[in-house]
Amino acid sequence: MIIKYIFRQGILWIIVMAIFLALLFLPRDIIFLEPGSKYSLESKYDYSVEKHIAQFKDFFTYVKENKGLGEVREGQSRVDSIWNTFMKSMKITIPALIIGLFGGVAKGVFDYRIRNRKTKIFGETLTRFFMSIPDLFLIIFIQIAIMTAYGWGLLPYMKVYGSDTLSTTILGIIYLTIYPVFYIANITFSSIRDEQAMDYIKTAFSKGTSSLEVLYRHVLKNCYPKILSHTNTITLYTLSNLFIVEKLTNFRGAAYFFYESVASPYAFAVGQSQFPINLFSAAGYIFLFTAVIFLSKVASQIGKNMLYPLERNQLL
């Protein structure tokens, strides 16, 4: 069953890759303006099927002739550059996904346990509050708070911008973790609340089972498949949020350079390729990012198969 699922997802991955590449290879014509005008050149789309196919042919011809995606500079291949920046981004993305999943489950359990207490404002209310605030504002707020605290002597010096320090890496993980934690917490809370109405829960309580044992031994077991089904959602959100984090923190990772590769260039050098954007780097990043999404879906399915809930009467 899992092999068939991986095969289907693999086919879907190939289709998605083809669609993204088709969008990436939309033909552009470069228009040179008269000297003295505001811009020396600009580009526009002038679509035709022939030009679109020619873009594909030129790209794969280049890859075949250069046995890869070419070089960024002498002695450094573009593939190595793409891979290095991708792995740099994964240093903050993978921990954020793991913390988001497990931290979100813990927060959801906490929300459920204090739902009827006076402190419930720190539970579901706080979760919904953070889910409603754009991450952009939270990132800027945290940066300003750290710099202000340092100015007041409350915190030691730490860098909030840059790529190669421990503090910027940790802060990047925190920024990427915010939404996944509260999203999974909300899913966990809703799943536990729905399970509480099941007959097997009443049976467990009638046998004298403690509430904590019912929650952790029985209820969560049946919630995990539903929680894991949202793994792909938080992966997509984290990857889409990666550029914002890298841009605001000057963390030069894959998302930052992917944007640079598809942005229209400000200047053209002599001997530059006919492509007005860096198709080679962009194609490499698209391959890697879609691969992360593919692996996330496969891991989620494997997890659900391992934790699929048994029949209610077999749990008691």
- Domains in the chain, please, with CATH? 81-236+306-314 (1.10.3720.10)
* Cβ neighbours for 49, distance < 8 A, ≥ 6 positions apart: none
Helix, strand or coil for residue 84?
helix
pLDDT category of residue 316 using cuts at 50, 70 and 90: very low
What is the pLDDT averaged over residues 149-159? 88
**Would you say residue 28 has pLDDT above 70?**
no
Nearest CA to 180 out of 249, 90, 94 is that of 94
Per the model's pLDDT, the better-predicted residue between 161 and 89 turns out to be: 89
Q: Could you tell me if 102 and 177 are in contact, meaning their C-beta atoms sit under 8 angstroms apart?
A: no
pLDDT at 160 over 60: yes
Question: What ranges make up the beta strands (E) of 46-108?
Answer: 71-73, 76-77
Out of 70-74, 205-209, 272-276, 279-283, least confident range = 272-276
Tokens standing for residue 34: 């008269």
| Span 149-161, average pLDDT | 88
Q: State the average pLDDT over residues 149-160.
A: 88
pLDDT of residue 289: 94
- Residues above pLDDT 70, as percent of the chain: 85
CA 166/CA 144 separation, integer angstroms: 19
Q: What is the pLDDT of residue 310?
A: 43
Three-state DSSP state, 305? helix
* 45/227: higher pLDDT: 227
pLDDT at position 300 is 84
* Reported pTM: 0.81
* Span of 132-136, 161-165, 186-190 with lowest mean pLDDT: 161-165
Q: What is the DSSP letter of 314?
A: G
Q: How confident is the model at residue 312 (pLDDT cuts 50, 70, 90)?
A: very low
pLDDT at 315: 39
Task: Check the CA dihedral 89-92-98-101 and report its sign.
Answer: negative
Residue 272 has pLDDT above 50, yes or no: no
Helix (H, G, I), strand (E, B) or coil at 74: coil
Between 52 and 241, the higher pLDDT residue: 241
Q: What is the pLDDT of residue 314?
A: 41
SS3 64: helix
User: 254 falls in which pLDDT band (50, 70, 90)?
Assistant: very high
- Out of 28-37, 101-110, 219-228, the most confident range is 101-110
Q: Which amino acid is at 137?
A: F
pLDDT at 90: 95
Query: Under 8 Å CB-to-CB from 139, ≥6 apart: which residues?
Result: 175, 244, 245, 248, 249
Residue pair 223/191 in contact (Cβ under 8 Å)? The answer is yes
